[in-house]
Amino acid sequence: MMTQDRKTLLEVRGLCATVNGIEILKGLNITVKSGEVHAIMGPNGSGKSTFAKVLAGHTAYKVTGGSVLFEGKNLFELAPEERARGGVFLAFQYPIEIPGVANSQFLRLTYNTVQAQRGKEELDPLEFDDFVRDKMKLLEMSPDFLDRSVNEGFSGGEKKRNEILQMALLEPRLAILDETDSGLDIDALRIVSQGVNQLATKDNAIVLVTHYQRLLNYIVPDFVHVMEAGRIIKTGGKELATELETRGYDWVGAEHETAARVTA
Amino acid sequence: MSIANNSGYLDSLLQGPPPLPASPLTWFNELRAEAVDRVGVLTVPTTRDEEWRFTDISPLTRLSFQPVRAAISLQAADIERFYLEEATTRLVFVDGVYAPQLSSPAKHDGVLVTNLSAAVTAHPAAIKPHLGRHTEFRDNLFAAHNTAFLHDGALIVVPRNTSVAAPVHLLFIATQKEVASYPRCLLVAESGSAVTAIEDYVALQEKAYFTNAVTEIALADNARVNHVRVQRESDQAFHIANCSVSLGHASRYQSVSVTLGARISRYDLNVLQAAEGAECAIDGLVLITDRQLADSHTSIDHAKPHGVSRQLHKCIVGGAAHAVFNGKIMVRPGAQRTDSSQSSRNLLLTGKAQVDTKPQLEILADDVKCAHGATVGQLDSEEVFYLQSRGLSEIVARNLLTYAFGAEIIDRIPIASIKHRLEQTVLEQTTRQP
């Protein structure tokens, strides 16, 4: 997927953030270019999901230091909806249920809102219906999901498919998938991964936040980052994920500490 | 009790019986006379009465309302926008007075959808056992007041084993200020019958007036009634209504009540499961703002075994409005295998909005399943963020979630056109919240 004329989409430098006064991110650095797939791995509590939510603009997370540029612009000057319209997409670890709003209504509203902001054509209900059904085939979703309330009564796997469906509709430049593999059985994992792979282009980038390596068998990353205590402490290629799967995370931390001592 | 008998509101009544023509039916006149007596004895409730603790109706008693003197003649074009496409039979009352030229009654296959005064002499056997027999007007000033003015009303009688396919629309239109109207509905569903009725209160004006309504619904064995009630009075109106429902063996009553209008409104819904195996589902949505006060009192009386009741009551309160919910569930001794659940969910949109919710369970049988719960809250910030992360602005996200909260109730209305219209209303009203 890597090509010559890659453009820097995301540039994170020294990012620090707190939630409820507790510091979670402690100087995080990462650069993501177009056409790339990145995996951020790490033990529970290392700050992976916090990083994802900070990028999307969740107000419970306070940025206390560092900078994030998205396509050269200061991301923190944008409200969450402006980030979404600008091309940042977060697939939630726990998608929210909205009883009383039909999924079709919700999907069309978000699609048309984003289209309008991008100066593109909006679709009426009939046009949208054709359009969305086509996208749903990608994820082997039954059209029944259009008539049900947003995520209400969906299984874990169905919710994740619905997230990727939204990604397909909103066509983000930068998609952050937060634990998209959790709660998926092997068939659902394959389908969701195929969907994501088809949405990856040379112009966009995907950041996978995951605890386990198994997702990376299906969506092959160009870079694997290991996060610990709010920082990325090691970066490697896709083989690093396999190594983490067999050896666990502890050795990375130990190696990092040794390296830090040597430098000091 | 209190002071308020000298209020302007009751003056006209205390000066003597209402100037209504005597009916040729003795029992009808007696019923009315008894109600007049009760009005003389009962007093206007105040916040010192437990049942009216949160609902101060003194603004109502300070104003003076007169019964309608001359009915306004409306044209169909004036009110067509209120018509429901599914309803082929419709009874229209203008300021409480039956408007035959705007109505399309039904009198076929034994089904009666007509005005009460036209039918009462011809069909006393169907009416007498029910009229004034289900509502406890002897202890309720407003029901007594309505009964004291009993003259006409909406009548629906569905004979045994008959199913009325199209819904029946009962449309009450307020056109004149300072008028008190006394809508009265009687619905009798004989054994094995089925019907859907919409009781709809609308206004063609913005001034203060007073609606005091009484509805009685009787379901015989195996009957099914769908009752939709929409209160969309003017913002200055006072609306007090009592509805009493009696359920026969294995009958099923479903109601959805939507409260949007009135400065002060009070709706008392009393359901009596008078025989074994009766079922009821009573749902409510209150959507108010500014300085509106809406009080919903419901009571489900499980008097016999194997009864089922379901209730979901929701309030969306904006501005400095105040919603009150009191939901009583009574399980009588011997009403074994009762299965009851009640949920009161409330959404406060502003810091000044207020809700008082009081589920009340009295269980006097030992083999029952009863669940109840109440929540009061604001919009969930995680839900708002989720929608923002999909490109919707915060205000649109909040409106959509508020709408969704109400739509859960509206979705339960079995008539597409009114469902759609109410969805639009909720959407418009939530969009103009500050």
Q: Which of B285, B382, B387 is the best substitution to test chain A (most A C-beta atoms within 10 A)? A: B387
10 Å CB burial of residue A264 (0-12, 13-18, 19+) is: exposed
Residue B103 tokens read as 């109505």
C-alpha A225/C-alpha B84 separation (Å) is 62
DSSP structure string for A22-67: EEEEEEEEEEEETT-EEEEE--TTSSHHHHHHHHHT-TTEEEEEEE
Largest pairwise CA distance in chain B: 70
Give me chain B's average pLDDT, please: 92
Q: Of all residues in chain B, what percent carry a pLDDT higher than 90?
A: 82
Looking at chain B, the whole-number percentage of residues with pLDDT higher than 70 is 95
C-alpha–C-alpha distance, residues B66 and B88, integer Å: 33
A248 pairs with which residues across the strands?
none
Helices A103-117 and A156-170 meet at what angle, rounded to 10?
30
Interface touch B392/A81, C-beta < 8 Å: yes
Q: Domain residue spans in chain A?
A: 8-97+172-263
Decide if B257 contacts B285 (C-beta within 8 A).
yes
**Residue A100 to chain B, least CA–CA distance (Å):** 4
How many angstroms separate the CA atoms of B406 and B294, rounded?
Answer: 16
Residue from A75, A96, A177 whose CB has the most chain B CBs within 10 Å, to mutate:
A96
Q: Where are chain B's structural domains?
A: 4-275, 380-434
Query: How far apart are the C-alpha atoms of A207 and A167, rounded to whole Å?
Result: 13
Alpha-carbon dihedral sign for residues B412, B416, B421, B427: positive
Question: pLDDT tens string for chain A (264 positions)?
Answer: 555 678 999 999 999 999 999 999 999 999 999 999 999 999 889 999 999 999 999 999 999 999 999 999 999 999 999 999 999 999 999 999 988 888 999 999 999 999 999 999 999 999 999 999 999 999 999 999 999 999 999 998 899 999 999 999 999 999 999 999 988 999 999 999 999 999 999 999 999 999 888 999 999 999 999 999 999 999 999 999 999 989 988 899 888 888 877 776
Report chain A's mean pLDDT, rounded to a whole number.
93
Tell me the pLDDT band of B1, cut-offs 50, 70 and 90.
very low
Amino acid present at B268: D
Alpha helices of B389-415 — where are they, by DSSP H? 394-410
Provide the pLDDT confidence category of residue B6 given band limits of 50, 70 and 90. very low
Residue B426: pLDDT band (50, 70, 90) is confident
pLDDT tens-digit readout, B147-196: 999 999 999 999 999 999 999 999 999 999 999 999 999 999 999 999 99
The model's pTM is 0.85
pLDDT at B87 over 50: yes
Give Cα A9 to chain centroid, integer Å. Answer: 14
Handedness of CA A30, A35, A36, A37 (dihedral sign): positive
Contacts of B73 (CB under 8 A, 6+ apart): none
In this prediction, residue B15 carries a pLDDT of 58
Strands (E), B260-353: 264-273, 279-288, 293-302, 308-317, 322-331, 339-348
DSSP lists the bridge partners of residue B265 as B239, B294
Structure tokens at A14: 């020294």
The whole-angstrom distance between A80's CA and the closest CA on chain B is 6
How far apart are the two ends of chain B, measured CA to CA in Å?
40
> How many angstroms separate the CA atoms of B179 and B239, rounded?
12
Architecture of domain A8-97+172-263: 3-Layer(aba) Sandwich (3.40)
**Residue B392 near chain A (CB below 8 Å):** yes
Please state whether beta strands A149-150 and A98-102 pair in parallel, antiparallel, or not at all (unpaired).
Answer: antiparallel
